[in-house]
Amino acid sequence: MRNRIAQHVQKLQPSGIRRFFDLAANMEGVISLGVGEPDFVTSWGVREACIASLHNGHTSYTANAGLLELRKEISRYLVEQFEVEYRPETDVIVTVGASQALDLSIRAIVDPGDEVIVIEPCFVSYAPLIELVGGTAVKVGANEEKGFSLDFDVLESSITERTKAILLCFPNNPTGTMLSKDELIQVSRLVEKHDLLVLSDEIYAELSFDEKFTSFATLPGMKERTILISGFSKGFAMTGWRLGFVAGPTDIIEAMLKIHQYAMMCASTMAQYGAIEALKNGRQDIEVMKKSYRRRRNYFVASLNEIGLHCHNPGGAFYAFPSVKETGLSSQEFAERLLLEEKVAVVPGNVFGESGEGYVRCSYASSLEQLQEAIKRMERFVKQFR
Amino acid sequence: MQLTEKELDLLQIIEENGRMKIDVLSKMVELTEAETENMLQNLEEQRIIVEYGAVIDWRKVDNFEGVTAMIDVKVTPKREVGFDEIAKNIYRFPEVKSVYLMSGAYDLSVVIEGKSLSQVANFVSEKLSTLDSVISTTTHFILKKYKHDGTIFDQGEDDRRIVVSP
């Protein structure tokens, strides 16, 4: 049979991270700063609650939107932590990671031909998910000069008749950049003026180090226009549990639930029981982890600058995004040679979008000993280009 | 005494790793090396930082002989000095590693280290029990240490994360 693979899938580019993974996975003695997840294992209390749920035989499906008890806890958490209120019965869906929440949101609002603005560099899934539903991802480069925050003139000039939504993710993967409340308010004015929706990927919200995180939905008039996407992976160190959630205006959540019930049915039941415990009793663990990330950020970013890899101070997440331009190498060349010559794995910035060219992403969610060794190796590597 | 945010940060870091190098430490708390040195010195002078030590798993050392016992001690407190005087009389013995005043069924919790069971037994029967205010003692020998002062003795789990992920 010819054309076994659908054309729109054929057109989809494989993630640039994949090639790098293959290269690094087969080497011995690699220090990996390429990992996009916490180095903490999920808190024991959460793991224990999940085990207990299995002991108690909680192995059947849950409601499509997830256990009501969990949705209530999510709702309480959003009020207490981010000061935004959603009704657990109608405005919240428990999803398979924030990734599925993102996919559902896009599928629910994007018609073929619609445009969604994504701010690059950004998480690798955004544009492909938009393209999979026939939408156009309009890529707007973040402002390199200002630590990868937003350039509002460029942002506004990229809005057209077909623009349906803006996808925001701050603290950002890969830059670690956070937007101030003032900057978010400026975005909200554009959203209002051009009658847009906002997909707010707030997965790194808990890991905001210097400023209090502002959830986009808390801005005046924005709750009706915001789809809040988050999950347990980063803040609660629960990546492998694949559990996230989405909260938003009732009509959009209802539309998303239609897709979710046919495509997914519900998120994993045992993971949902773990998440209830995480929200009830695991929030002080986040503080401990956050402190630890913050200290490592301080050490790592100061050290990068010291060895001549200029790096802005990232306000959140666990990524540093230093410039490698002074070496004269491209992102790919830098990452590949650093891996082969010094066995340190970082991710080339261009896999997160064109505007990431000239940078590499280093995750500092590794032990301090590993970070120190990585800095030593990177310093040796960088010296040859002086 | 009220400490600043940075001082608290510093204390928490060196409580976990007392051998952290000053250049790393100063970066972590966003101070210069000189400022960090100063701060440490201050905290040492005020005996907030009392000592720098190591956590050692002696079970791995074949030619190490030693046992640890925790002893619940009931005492009669004395007028005016309460428990403090008897505690002092106990903690002055070099065999005594720690002494805590406790709430509950007994008064003082005393940790003793000795070379052997009989040495600890001798200490309890000859030195501790014979002290004036001591009414009774209950001795518990420690069979195995799993976790001590927040440190788990078994090797931590390996990093199971895949090497590169988005």
How many CA atoms within 13 Å lie on the side-chain side of B134? Answer: 22
**Is B164 an interface residue toward A (CB < 8 Å)?**
yes
User: In angstroms, what CA-CA distances link A27 with A1, A16, A171, A334, A342?
Assistant: 39, 19, 31, 17, 11
Look up the ipTM and state it: 0.88
Find the closest chain A residue to B161 by CA distance.
A35
* Residue B165 at interface with chain A, using a CB cutoff of 8 Å: yes
Contact at CB, A295 and B165, closer than 8 angstroms: no
Q: What is the pTM of this model?
A: 0.93
CATH number of B58-144: 3.30.70.920
Q: Which residues contact A307 (CB under 8 A, 6 or more apart)?
A: A375, A378, A379, A382
Give every strand in the sheet of B108-114, ordered side by side.
B96-101, B108-114, B67-75, B134-141
A33 in Cβ contact with A374 (< 8 Å)? yes
In angstroms, rounded to a whole number, what is the distance separating the alpha carbons of residues A167 and A50? 33
Tokens of B48: 């907030």
What pLDDT shows up at residue A35?
93
Topology of the domain covering B5-45: Arc Repressor Mutant, subunit A (1.10.10)
What is the chain A residue with the closest CA to B26?
A: A299
- Residue B35 at interface with chain A, using a CB cutoff of 8 Å: no
Domain with CATH 1.10.10 in chain B: 5-45
To which residue do tokens 């915001």 refer? A226
CB nearest B164 (choices: A302, A303, A345): A345
Å from B11 to nearest chain A CA? 13
* Length of chain B in terms of residues written: 166
Mean pLDDT (chain B) is 93
Which domains can be identified in chain A, with CATH numbers? Answer: 7-42+284-383 (3.90.1150.10), 44-282 (3.40.640.10)
| All CATH 3.30.70.920 domain ranges in chain B, comma separated | 58-144
B30/A contact by beta carbon, under 8 A: yes
Quick one: pLDDT at residue B79? 83
B159 CB within 8 Å of a chain A CB: yes
pLDDT confidence of residue A138: 98
pLDDT in tens, chain A (386 residues): 888 999 999 999 888 888 888 888 889 999 999 999 999 999 999 999 999 999 999 999 999 999 999 999 999 999 999 999 999 999 999 999 999 999 999 999 999 999 999 999 999 999 999 999 999 999 999 999 999 999 999 999 999 999 999 999 999 999 999 999 999 999 999 999 999 999 999 999 999 999 999 999 999 999 999 999 999 999 999 999 999 999 999 999 999 999 999 999 999 999 999 999 999 999 999 999 999 999 999 999 999 999 999 999 999 999 999 999 999 999 999 999 999 999 999 999 999 999 999 999 999 999 999 999 999 999 999 999 98
A299:B24 CB<8 A = yes
Residues B108-151 have pLDDT tens digits of: 999 999 999 999 999 999 999 999 899 999 999 999 999 988 88
Nearest to B166 among A24, A124, A298 (CB): A124
Confidence grade of residue B80 (pLDDT, cut at 50, 70, 90): confident
CB distance A348 to A362 below 8 Å = no
Question: Cα(A131)–Cα(A114) distance, rounded to whole angstroms?
Answer: 10
Are A37 and B161 within 8 A, CB to CB? Answer: yes
